[in-house]
């Protein structure tokens, strides 16, 4: 007779996915809140640029003889009147080099280094315990960000937060790839990595409206307190209710595990190309993430787009993430790993012109084109990591993810700092358009090139690997073809027990 625990066992996998995803959302909410609260934070902590901005009177932009954003000098800002009412103010605008350093490099510098360190550790130690500690660290750092009194304190705490959050992706990805089968991998990765966009999207209403409520007189600080408490709750659930899964791969059970050098894995042309393409695409996304709220506030100060940005990011972006995972999972069974990369190239190609529209048009069409862009653009993240775990061997999987994130975040996370100097040369709108939509387009080309370095359709599968095996064994790693690879490393032919080790397809192994 089945016990209640046995009957509910089927809920464990989705529960793990939920806990890991909500924890990731909390971390990313803490990460992106600065982009929405920056003006209020800058005014209180005294950092960044001053600019002429429309004040909070009920004046509509189309009735003004001159837009505040077009005024460069402070004394001219104080002279802009409409029906005898001053409609401009000279104050911190939340932008400037100090903001770009706060949003990007201060976080990325630690995040990328710790991502590699924790990726190495994830291949050797208990991932659930490590993830619990990481979540605890970034949760406390977010809470303390709400207590800062100086700019340097905010910088320091964002670095601490980055150190903790760096473990989320490599640790959680390793856990999930060991409990979910290949047939659901892209969808699961997409749902988890949606945590980035979930945290980013939730930051708009939280940062805007919670700050305005000024709960207990705390203003923007209460946003950080609440986010940090949510992260601490997820740390408790991770440490007390999740268990470390057995590390699985097919075909290695009865063989001495061959040592696969990390450098050789990373130097595969397809890994390098995927890394570069993902870095460029990440730069486009991070540019918009760090500048969206500030951009729309500057150019459309009389239109409250907070809930629109939330709806587009959470609603349409979420649909795109899930559909991207489903489409990728359906195609890969028939067309091979190459089809996943094809999905990346096509989705970004469609998204690019609409991304341009979102920073070119007036508010209504900006939100419409942003929604269309998001639907296609946000398919990319989960698919990229589904591709990555399928083209690298088990022994260095988490380490490779850590290195991949190191490169991707250093390029994609730091390049947006150039938005500020370029904006001073060609204007803020042109600068955002270049690094946001322009880099979407560039990533399309790079993903298209990467596609030709990936494996095509699967022609044969070892008879021992049944669908039941896939479900029970979890991570297959069956698109990493190591026959010639390991042969070259060990100086001899690989051992076999009547079938190819690691479920190898000999016809495709030379593609490494």
Tens digit of each residue's pLDDT (9 = 90 or more) over 481-504: 433 333 443 444 444 333 332 333
Chain center to CA of 146: 24
Nearest one of 148, 199, 508 to 338, comparing CA atoms: 508
Confirm if 139 and 152 have CB atoms less than 8 A apart. Answer: no
Q: What is the pLDDT of residue 227?
A: 95
Tens digit of pLDDT for each residue in 24-69? 999 999 999 998 999 899 999 999 888 898 886 677 777 888 888 8
What are the residues whose beta carbons fall under 8 Å from the beta carbon of 257, sequence distance 6 or more?
A: 395
Backbone angles phi and psi of 383, in degrees to 5: -65, -40
Least confident of 108-117, 205-214, 397-406, 426-435: 397-406
Q: How confident is the model at residue 156 (pLDDT cuts 50, 70, 90)?
A: very high
Single pTM value for the model: 0.71
| Local structure of 284: helix, strand or coil | helix
Burial per residue of 372-406, b for 16 or more beta-carbon CB atoms within 10 angstroms, e otherwise: bbbbbbbbbbbbbbbbbbbbbbbbbbbbbbbbbbb
Q: What is the pLDDT of residue 299?
A: 87
* pLDDT for 172 beyond 60: yes
Tens digit of pLDDT for each residue in 307-366? 888 888 888 877 877 777 677 677 665 667 888 888 889 999 999 999 999 999 999 999
- The average confidence (pLDDT) of the chain is 80
Helices 12-45, 221-241: crossing angle, 10 deg rounding: 160
* Helix H or strand E encompassing 481: none
The DSSP letter of residue 94 is S
Q: How confident is the model at residue 274 (pLDDT cuts 50, 70, 90)?
A: very high
Tens digit of pLDDT for each residue in 387-421? 887 888 877 777 787 788 888 888 888 888 899 89
pLDDT exceeding 70 applies to what percent of the chain?
A: 82
Tens digit of pLDDT for each residue in 211-252? 989 899 899 999 999 999 999 999 999 999 888 887 765 334
């Amino acid at each position: 007779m089945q016990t209640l625990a046995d009957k509910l066992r089927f809920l464990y996998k989705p529960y793990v996915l939920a806990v890991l995803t909500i924890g990731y959302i909390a971390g990313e909410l803490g990460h992106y809140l600065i982009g929405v609260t920056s003006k209020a934070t800058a005014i209180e902590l005294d950092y960044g640029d001053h600019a002429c901005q429309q004040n909070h009177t009920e004046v509509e932009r189309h009735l003004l003889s001159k837009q505040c954003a077009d005024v460069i000098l402070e004394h001219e800002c104080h002279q802009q009147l409409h029906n005898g009412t001053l409609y401009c103010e000279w104050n911190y605008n939340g932008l400037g080099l100090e903001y770009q350093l706060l949003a990007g490099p201060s976080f990325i510098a630690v995040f990328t280094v710790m991502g590699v360190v924790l990726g190495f550790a994830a291949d050797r130690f208990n991932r659930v315990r490590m993830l619990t500690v990481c979540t605890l660290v970034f949760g406390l750092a977010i809470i303390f960000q709400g207590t800062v009194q100086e700019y340097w304190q905010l910088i320091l705490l964002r670095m601490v937060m980055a150190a903790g959050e760096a473990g989320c992706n490599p640790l959680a990805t390793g856990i999930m790839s060991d409990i979910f089968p290949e047939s659901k991998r892209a969808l699961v990765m997409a749902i988890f990595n949606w945590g980035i966009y979930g945290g980013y999207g939730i930051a708009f209403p939280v940062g805007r409206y919670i700050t305005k409520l000024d709960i207990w007189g705390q203003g923007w600080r209460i946003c950080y307190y609440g986010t940090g408490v949510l992260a601490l709750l997820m740390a408790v659930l991770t440490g007390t209710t999740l268990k470390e899964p057995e590390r699985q791969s097919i075909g290695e059970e009865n063989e001495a595990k061959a040592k696969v050098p990390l450098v050789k894995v990373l130097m595969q042309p397809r890994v390098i190309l995927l890394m570069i393409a993902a870095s460029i695409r990440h730069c486009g996304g991070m540019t918009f993430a760090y500048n969206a709220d500030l951009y729309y506030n500057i150019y459309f100060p009389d239109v409250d787009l907070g809930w629109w940005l939330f709806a587009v990011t959470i609603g349409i972006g979420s649909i795109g993430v899930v559909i991207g995972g489903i489409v990728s999972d359906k195609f890969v069974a028939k067309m091979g790993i190459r089809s996943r990369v094809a999905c990346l190239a096509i989705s970004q190609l469609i998204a690019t012109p609409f991304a341009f529209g979102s920073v070119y048009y007036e508010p209504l069409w900006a939100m419409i084109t942003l929604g269309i862009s998001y639907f296609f653009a946000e398919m990319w993240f989960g698919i990229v990591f589904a591709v990555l775990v399928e083209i690298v061997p088990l022994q260095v999987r988490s380490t490779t993810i850590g290195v991949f994130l190191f490169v991707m975040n250093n390029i994609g996370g730091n390049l947006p700092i150039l938005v500020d100097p370029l904006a001073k040369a060609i204007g803020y709108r042109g600068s955002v358009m270049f690094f946001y939509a322009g880099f979407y387009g560039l990533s399309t080309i790079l993903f298209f090139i990467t596609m030709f370095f990936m494996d095509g359709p699967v022609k044969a599968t070892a008879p021992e690997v049944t669908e039941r095996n896939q479900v029970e064994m979890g991570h297959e790693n069956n698109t990493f073809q190591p026959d010639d690879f390991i042969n070259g490393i060990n100086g001899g032919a690989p051992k076999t027990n009547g079938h190819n080790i690691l479920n190898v397809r000999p016809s495709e192994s030379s593609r490494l």
